[in-house]
Amino acid sequence: MSRLGVLLYNLLHLYEWVIIAAVVVSWLGIDLPDPVRRFFAATVDPVLDWIRENLPVVYSNVDFSPLVALLGTWFLRVVVVRILL
C-alpha cells in the first residue's frame, strides 16, 4: 500500500464526516462558536456552493448538494484511492 493512497483515503473519509457534521448542525440550527462556523464555511461551503450552481433544481426547498458531495467523496475514496493502493 502506498502512503499517499492511505493518506488520501483517510482525508476523504474525514471530509465526509465534516460534511455530515455541517449538515446536522445546519438542520438542528445549533449556534456554533465563530471559529467552528468559519471552519465549516471554509471547508464545506465552497464544494456545496459549486454543486448547487451546477445541479439542476429538482424540488424548490430540498438541497441535494450534501448528498452529491458525499457520493462524490465516496466515489473518490473507494474507486480512485483503490487504484493508488
Closest listed residue to residue 70, CA positions, set 21, 28, 30, 32: 21
pLDDT of 80 > 80? The answer is: no
Note the pLDDT tens digit of each residue in 28-45. 988 989 999 999 999 999
- Domain segments of the chain: what residues? 3-84
The crossing angle, in degrees rounded to 10, of helices 65-75 and 45-54 is 110
The pTM score is 0.86
pLDDT of 1 > 70? The answer is: no
Q: Which residue has the higher pLDDT, 69 or 61?
A: 69
pLDDT of 15 > 90? The answer is: yes
Rounded percentage of the chain residues whose pLDDT exceeds 70: 98
Enter the C-alpha cell of residue 32: 456554533
